[in-house]
Amino acid sequence: MKRLKTIDWVDDGVVIIDQTRLPGELIYQRIDNVEAMFHAIRELRVRGAPAIGIAAAFGCYIAIADFPEQGSVDDLLTLLEKNGDYLADSRPTAVNLVWAVNRMKKRALELVPTAAVTGIKNKLLQEALAILDEDRRMGRAIGEHGAKLLANVSSILTHCNAGGLATAEYGTALAPVYVAAEQGKLFTVYADETRPLLQGARITAFELQQAGIPVILICDNMAATVMERGKVGAVIVGADRITANGDTANKIGTYGVALLAKAHNIPFYVAAPSSTFDLNLTTGRAIPIEERRAEEITCGFGKRTAPDGVAVFNPAFDVTPAELICAFVTEKGVIRPPFGRGIREVVGGGDRL
Amino acid sequence: MKRLKTIDWVDDGVVIIDQTRLPGELIYQRIDNVEAMFHAIRELRVRGAPAIGIAAAFGCYIAIADFPEQGSVDDLLTLLEKNGDYLADSRPTAVNLVWAVNRMKKRALELVPTAAVTGIKNKLLQEALAILDEDRRMGRAIGEHGAKLLANVSSILTHCNAGGLATAEYGTALAPVYVAAEQGKLFTVYADETRPLLQGARITAFELQQAGIPVILICDNMAATVMERGKVGAVIVGADRITANGDTANKIGTYGVALLAKAHNIPFYVAAPSSTFDLNLTTGRAIPIEERRAEEITCGFGKRTAPDGVAVFNPAFDVTPAELICAFVTEKGVIRPPFGRGIREVVGGGDRL
């Protein structure tokens, strides 16, 4: 099965797939400075909460990679701090971004007592590579837990892209589909196209097609009809941030899909690594929701599709309340309601910095 | 207030606004043969159930307008029959299309005993003009009933376009908004963009903006969020066909919006003229649902947005079950549940042929 390398470390540099060019072109882009990484994240060339965490970690390393050997450790830390904060600002909703930046900063602080500049730099590269590797193993583990959870289901519906292209390799919501395929079971996947940026049409449909998984593309507003016709055994989506009570921020439209699933008695699952849980927030009301430019809606297809000057509301995410979620699939296992305790156990404590 | 003439009879010919060119260009197109009318309907240059009824009526007249004065009445009837059936075939779901064609045929049959060819032709033109005029009065009456129904509401959400551009002038779902504006009350209208063909973005946003009504454009998958934030006082949509029990076929996505409205305790209304009710069908299961080309989804805007060869499901309509509908707004008044009896009273009998 062909799985794409969303983000990778190749010949001393980061290489990403430029996802804004999909599905027309599969372009690999080398990122060699921190500003380029900031813009790659902001402009969604690399996207998906886990993948932008990895990107931010490499971004932190790139920011200090050329720091002179004879410089002071304090200056190195200041440079890391400044560029980490800059990268953390590239998108506001996904917690993995801040999580990865904080992990890099924390690692640097641990190293200060015993290492010099070159040693710290090398260890920070190793830390970023570890985040990448953990993400690959995380996806595989989510896939195994999810494939078991979905054992009695033959078709799923997903929203946006929480597939391999949202992570290093396996994905989160699509990981069970890939693991099941390795085990000889082919799911049918209904993919919401996911307006305005069409991650479902451009990315989910693309990566499933590349992997030989049956995929049927629909517009977002067709999900209710597909469910009503009995075509959907389960809904499974990714997450950008999950609060202590299980409220889940994910791509705009997820909340509506969860309500539609409930109305049709279809189980609704969220697949996410433990790094997506943010125990600092008690409920979803505290999650900042990014609002994006009107032009994504009014002229997203290279052609103006709404009148000039029309008012637009364009939130990038919504929050699905915990009570609509039947289970979380994490790399450490499946969490079932009531969520509070299971989430605390999986995440293993409050402050991950 | 500026209301556009969707379809009109000007200088012995039909003139339509080519809605496939909106919102970029406001182009009036003259239709002078029945094939051109068939394609204008099929390609959605004229769209909206009431408007295509009017278009079909004029199409029937155009088909026989050049029939020679010295020809036989039987041949005239045969020609009308043949072209009426051809026009009725241009789109499968809207009942108004068949209703208008049948009305033209019935009028011709009534005239046969007393009129010659020229007389029949003139009276058929008058019949088409009567359908146009009735549609204008129908829209105004729906608007008055709807404005009263929505007296305590200041913002609505609508899906697709059931506005002036779906009818001769006032529209159905938007008629209450226009009538309220004449009375000095400006609603705020949330317009679902309505994939795949974006009638909400291209047409609803355009006509409301032209009329000076506050409109906020959203993607279909944002409706749940707007509702959850308390921004929507009521949902009001049009209809393509309503069965005897109140089940309602309308643009794909309507059923989902109705479920979301219910989940947020927001009233869901359907505005439609009595000609939209089809008492020959007992429930929505009997309504044929048009499926359209994959390309509408995969490359709808001059740019391919999904991988080549991907499977697509593209139903043009869905059916909202009667139990999700709080009331119908017709030109004859508001129908409340249980619907069966109210619908029979408003429509006034079973067979409208």
pLDDT digits (tens, 9 = 90+) for A264-291: 999 999 999 998 899 999 999 999 888 9
Q: Is residue B352 part of a domain?
A: no
Average pLDDT, chain B: 94
Beta strands in chain A (DSSP E): 7-10, 13-17, 28-31, 155-158, 188-192, 215-218, 234-237, 241-243, 248-251, 268-271, 277-278, 311-312, 317-320, 327-330, 333-335
Of B192, B198, B257, the CB nearest to A305: B198
Tell me: do B239 and B97 sit in the same domain: no
pLDDT at A53 over 80: yes
| pLDDT exceeds cutoff 60 at B175 | yes
Q: Name the band, by pLDDT with cuts 50, 70 and 90, for residue B186.
A: very high
User: Tokens 């390393």 correspond to what residue?
Assistant: A61
Q: Indicate whether B208 and B227 sit together in one domain.
A: yes
Among residues B192, B240, B278, B318, which one is catalytic? B240
Residue A272 lies in a domain: yes
Indicate if A155 and A244 belong to the same structural domain: yes
Confidence tier at B213 by pLDDT (50, 70, 90)? very high
Report residue A38 as tokens: 């900031």
Nearest Cβ partner for B221 among A217, A253, A306: A253
Instruction: Say yes or no for a CB contact (<8 Å) between B302 and A304.
Output: no
Q: Are residues B299 and B182 in the same domain?
A: yes
Residue A170: pLDDT over 50: yes
A158 within 8 A of A223, measured Cβ to Cβ: no
Q: Is B205 in Cβ contact with A307 (below 8 Å)?
A: yes
- Percent of chain A predicted with pLDDT > 70: 98
Distance (Å) from the alpha carbon of B299 to chain A's nearest alpha carbon: 9
B236 & B158 share domain: yes
Do A264 and A227 form a contact (C-beta atoms < 8 A)?
Answer: yes
- Judge whether B231 lies within some domain: yes
Tell me the count of A-B CB pairs closer than 8 A.
192
Q: Which residues contact A251 (CB under 8 A, 6 or more apart)?
A: A159, A160, A194, A199, A237, A238, A240, A316, A317, A318
Query: What's the pLDDT at B1?
Result: 67
Whether B240 and B93 map to the same domain: the answer is no
Q: Chain A partners of B196 at a C-beta cutoff of 8 Å?
A: 219
For residue A353, being part of any structural domain is answered with: no
Q: CATH code at B197?
A: 3.40.50.10470
Residue B1 lies in a domain: no
pLDDT in tens, B125-166: 999 999 999 999 999 999 999 999 999 999 999 999 999 999
**How close A64 comes to chain B (CA, Å)?**
38
Q: What's the pLDDT band for B353 if we cut at 50, 70, 90?
A: very low
What is the complex's ipTM, to 2 decimals? Answer: 0.89
pLDDT score for A96: 86
Mean pLDDT for chain A overall = 94
Q: Do B311 and A222 touch (CB under 8 A)?
A: no
pLDDT in tens, B43-102: 999 998 889 999 999 999 999 999 999 999 999 999 999 999 999 999 877 788 999 999
Q: Say yes or no for a CB contact (<8 Å) between B301 and A306.
A: no
A159, A222, A293: best mutation site toward chain B, by most B Cβ within 10 Å? A222
Please say whether the beta carbons of A150 and A232 come within 8 A. no
- Of B107, B137, B167, the last residue of a domain is B137
Mean pLDDT of A241-252: 96
Are residues B132 and B173 both part of a single domain?
Answer: no
Q: Is the peptide bond preceding residue B23 cis, with omega within 30 degrees of 0?
A: yes
Assess whether B195 and B341 both reside in one domain. yes
> Which of the listed residues A137, A166, A186 is the one where a domain comes to its end?
A137
Are residues A160 and A260 located together in one domain of the fold?
Answer: yes
- Closest residue in A to B196 (Cα) is A219
Q: Are residues B241 and B93 in the same domain?
A: no
CB B228 within 8 A of CB B264: yes
pTM of the model: 0.89
Q: Of A91, A113, A137, which residue sits at a domain end?
A: A137
Known catalytic residue at B240: yes
- Residue in chain B closest to A210 (alpha carbons) equals B307
* Contact: A297, B219; criterion CB under 8 Å: yes
Domain check: are B133 and B220 in the same one?
no
Q: What CATH code is carried by the domain that includes residue B129? A: 1.20.120.420
**A322-335 average pLDDT score:** 97
Q: Which residues of chain B are within 8 Å of residue A303 when distances are taken between CB atoms?
A: 301-303
What number of CA atoms fall less than 13 Å from residue A203's CA on the CB side?
Answer: 30
Domain with B273, as residue range(s), is 145-347
- C-beta atoms of A259 and B224 within 8 A: yes
The chain B residue lying nearest A300, using CA atoms, is B301
Q: What is the total count of domains within chain A? A: 2
Q: Provide the shortest C-alpha distance from residue A211 to chain B (in Å).
A: 13
Q: Please count the helices (runs of H) and the strands (runs of E) in chain A.
A: 12, 15
pLDDT per residue as tens digits for the range A172-223 = 999 999 999 999 999 999 999 999 999 999 999 999 999 999 999 999 999 9
Does a structural domain hold residue B269? yes
Q: Is residue B89 part of a domain?
A: yes
Nearest beta carbon to residue B219 from set A23, A196, A225: A196
Catalytic residue among A240, A247, A278, A318: A240
Is B189 within 8 Å of B291 (Cβ atoms)? no
Pick the residue from chain A with its C-alpha nearest to B289: A225
Select from B24, B209, B252 the Cβ nearest to the Cβ of A225. B252
Residue B189 lies in a domain: yes
Cross-chain residue pair B256–A224, CB shorter than 8 Å: yes
Which residue of chain B comes nearest to A212, CA vs CA?
B310
The Cα B200–Cα B334 span in angstroms is 25
Residues A118 and A165 in one domain: no
For A160, residues 6+ apart whose C-beta sits below 8 A from its C-beta are A192, A194, A199, A200, A204, A237, A238, A250, A251, A253, A254
